[in-house]
Amino acid sequence: MISSERVVKIVLFLSSLLIILVTAGMVLSLMNGSIPVFKEIGLRFIISSQWNPTEGSEEYGAMAFIAGTLMTSFIAIIICFPLAFSTSLFIGEYYSGTRIARIVGTLVDMLAGIPSIVYGLWGFYVLRPLIVDLGLNAQGFGIFTAGVVLAIMIIPYATSISTEIIKMVSSDLKEAAYSLGATRREVILNVLIPNARSGIFTSFVLAFGRALGETMAVTMLIGNANIIPDSIFGAGNTMASVIANQFGEAEGLKLSALITIGLLLFVITGIINGIGKLIIKKFNS
Amino acid sequence: MAFAKQISGEGALKRRVVKNRLFAGSVIFFSMLTISPILLIVYKLVAKGYRQINIDFFTKKAPDTYEAMVAVGAGEVIPGGILNGIAGTLYMVFIASLIAIPVGLLIGIFLYDQQSKRYAGVVRDVVDILQGVPSIVLGLIAYFWVVKNITNGFSALAGSTALAIMMMPLIIRSTEETLKMIPETIIEAGFALGVPYHKIILRVLIPSGFSGLLTGILLAISRIIGETAPLMLTALGSMQVNFQIDKPTSAIPLLIWEFYNDPNMVDLIWSSSLLLMMMVLLLNLLSRQIIARRS
């Protein structure tokens, strides 16, 4: 006779195995799909920036998309930083616990609720004409346009952890500085930031990880050119956007190339998130 | 010390006060800048979308390009609605929930139960990895597993599979966090009475954490309801209302993408986006209400 306790424990354990199997299965499927690329192109795939689906002279490389992904994500994080950091100070320090902080916090959370495709539409109809008017790019599509929209999209991810960390800084420390006659700015720069540094850094690392994989909004704004962008206002493609763009008509080696890009994206986001998690773990212990 | 030098002297004090004000001012300025996009986006959706929202919008299928072109040419509101998208979204989210909710709850309970065991740590890491996987990659996976091998074509099941894999980590995490908040004394009281373990879960853990669990599920749904990229690779879209699990199916975000690419239908993007946003907001509001009532 097996006790009910055992049955429950076994069911729970099996369900946990399921999630491991799903994740391992994903990695295996992606690796399996990328075999043709590694057979025919090899490691050159990663460093080559050629993308030529013409039959007979087929040649695929991921470098243009890796470059596009990194460029858009870096632009996003640079623009996001002053916005998200100020908002964290606003909610977690200046107006901590007040009604206005709650309202601002709710609005920032709402940013996370807007579907990617709606950001894309907004970028296309509102931001893109603005970029054209400013004369930054004739069509308004490009790395920069995509980066700006990405920056807005990742604000809630960057803000949420930083705010918590900023709130956690002990008020004893802050009050000690105030009693020495420090101004609020000096308390923030000399007490709050040094104490919350790694937490704030982590939140931006995780936000960066989000930016790497965003698809729809970027696809709609980046200009979809399979080249290494010639400037930050130039057109390009990210790893996610090239999959979305070219998947429909893909088969054979091209399909395998897109899957390999998916695998690379999986690995890169995994590494970035892993770094973020490691810093959190170190910070907590 | 630099700090000591800063605070000496009359002029220095003034400078510090000014710097302090400037800093506070820029924090407020950038915070307002941060929240402006949400207001601008909602305004844009409402201003451009409200005209299209009528009974037909919820009860009729999407028009074809020709009908839309004629209406636009005559300066009228585009006929038809997005019923096929609404039905598809509800259907695929429902199937995804059927998969993700039970599995998510079980794994969440498992992690709570095992807490600091080594294996639970591994599972937690795997859940974190899964949560970080870009949705387009999940679309690729569902394409291989379901479209290629199970339904032999684009299907609602494939779309739901991608969405379910997205939902699972969110539900697992919220379940574990919720259960951790339940006072241990309640659970121990149950054990002391000799209640079997499965009854503790069903009669103690789930009821006392119910509002938290529900909140987690609602938020997970709100996160996936607007997903477009993975559905492009799996459900594809359809002009018909479809409830067959092995056939291509439309969804609101897929329709927005189609309208966006069709110059005749482009007016429909705003109302469809508005509806999608309202659904997300409603789910968020609902979960906020639940949290507020609990505390």
**Is the Cβ pair B134, A13 closer than 8 Å?**
no
Compute the Cα dihedral for B106, B112, B113, B116 and give only its sign. positive
**Is the Cβ pair A22, B130 closer than 8 Å?**
yes
**Is the Cβ pair A185, B30 closer than 8 Å?**
no
CA A73 – CA B132 distance, rounded (Å)? 15
Give the bridge partners for B236, in sequence order.
Answer: B249
Q: Does domain A65-284 have CATH number 1.10.3720.10?
A: yes
CA A47 – CA A64 distance, rounded (Å)? 9
Residues A111 and B37: beta-carbon distance below 8 Å: yes
Query: What pLDDT does residue B295 have?
Result: 65
Name the B residues in 217-276 with CB < 8 Å from any A CB: 222-223, 225-229, 232-233, 253, 256-257, 260, 269, 273, 276
Helix or strand run (H / E) with residue B181: helix B156-181
- Report, as an integer, the average pLDDT of A225-232: 92
Q: Which residues contact B284 (CB under 8 A, 6 or more apart)?
A: A109, A110, A113, B218, B219, B222
**Is the Cβ pair B35, A247 closer than 8 Å?**
no
Interface with B, mutate which of A117, A122, A260, A268 (most B CBs under 10 A): A117
**Is the Cβ pair A184, B20 closer than 8 Å?**
yes
Query: What pLDDT does residue B118 have?
Result: 92
Residue B168 sits at the chain A interface (C-beta within 8 Å): yes
Mapped to the 3 state alphabet, what secondary structure does B148-159 carry? CCCCCCCCHHHH
The amino acid occupying position B21 is R
DSSP string, B100-140: HHHHHHHHHHHHHHHTT-HHHHHHHHHHHHHHHS-HHHHHH
Residues of B in contact with A108 (CB under 8 A): 34-35, 38
**Is the Cβ pair B273, A9 closer than 8 Å?**
no
CA B254 – CA B237 distance, rounded (Å)? 6
Residue B55 sits at the chain A interface (C-beta within 8 Å): no
Residue B285 sits at the chain A interface (C-beta within 8 Å): no
Helix/strand/coil for B4: helix
**Joined tokens for residue B19:** 């710097």
Query: What pLDDT does residue B53 have?
Result: 87
Query: What pLDDT does residue B9 have?
Result: 65
CA B274 – CA B13 distance, rounded (Å)? 52
- Report, as an integer, the average pLDDT of A61-86: 97
Nearest CA of chain A to the CA of B284: how many Å?
A: 8
Here the ipTM equals 0.94
Looking at residue B249, what DSSP letter applies? Answer: B
Query: What pLDDT does residue B76 have?
Result: 81
Extents of the domains making up chain A = 4-52, 65-284
Q: Which residues contact A171 (CB under 8 A, 6 or more apart)?
A: none
**Is the Cβ pair A262, B27 closer than 8 Å?**
no
Residues of A in contact with B145 (CB under 8 A): 25, 29
Whether the per-residue pLDDT at A60 is higher than 70: the answer is yes
pLDDT one digit per residue (tens) for chain B, 295 residues: 455 555 556 788 899 999 999 999 999 999 999 999 999 999 999 999 988 888 989 999 998 888 888 888 888 888 889 999 999 999 999 999 999 999 999 999 999 988 888 999 999 999 999 999 999 999 999 999 999 999 999 999 999 999 999 999 999 999 999 999 999 898 899 889 988 888 888 888 999 999 999 999 999 999 999 999 999 999 999 999 999 999 999 999 999 999 999 988 888 999 999 999 999 999 998 998 898 887 6
Taking each helix axis from N to C end, the angle separating A193-213 and A143-168, rounded to the nearest 10 degrees, works out to 140
Residue B4 sits at the chain A interface (C-beta within 8 Å): no
Residues of A in contact with B17 (CB under 8 A): 183
Residue B201 sits at the chain A interface (C-beta within 8 Å): yes
Residues of A in contact with B113 (CB under 8 A): 9, 12
Whether the per-residue pLDDT at A2 is higher than 70: the answer is no
Nearest CA in chain B to A238: B136
CA distances to A176, A177, A188, B263 from A170, rounded to whole Å, are 10, 12, 12, 57
CA A227 – CA A249 distance, rounded (Å)? 19
Nearest CA of chain A to the CA of B21: how many Å?
A: 8
**Is the Cβ pair B44, A12 closer than 8 Å?**
no
CA B142 – CA B165 distance, rounded (Å)? 9
Condensed to tens digits (0 to 9), the pLDDT of residues A129-176 reads 999 999 888 889 999 999 999 999 999 999 998 999 999 999 999 999
**Joined tokens for residue B250:** 């439309």
Give chain A's mean pLDDT: 93
Q: Could you tell me how many residues make up chain A?
A: 285
DSSP string, B187-203: HHHHHHTT--HHHHIII
Rounded to 5°, the CA angle B146-B149-B153 comes to 70
Residue B108 sits at the chain A interface (C-beta within 8 Å): no
Residues B158 and B147: beta-carbon distance below 8 Å: yes
Query: What pLDDT does residue B71 have?
Result: 87
CA A261 – CA A46 distance, rounded (Å)? 9
* CA-closest candidate to residue B55, choices B285, B251, B279, B271: B271
CA A26 – CA A188 distance, rounded (Å)? 44
Residues of A in contact with B120 (CB under 8 A): 16
Query: What pLDDT does residue B266 have?
Result: 87
**Is the Cβ pair A240, B3 closer than 8 Å?**
no
Query: What pLDDT does residue B12 have?
Result: 85
Residues of B in contact with A185 (CB under 8 A): 16, 19-20, 23-24
* CA-closest candidate to residue A269, choices A243, A239, A241: A239
**Joined tokens for residue A118:** 């709606």
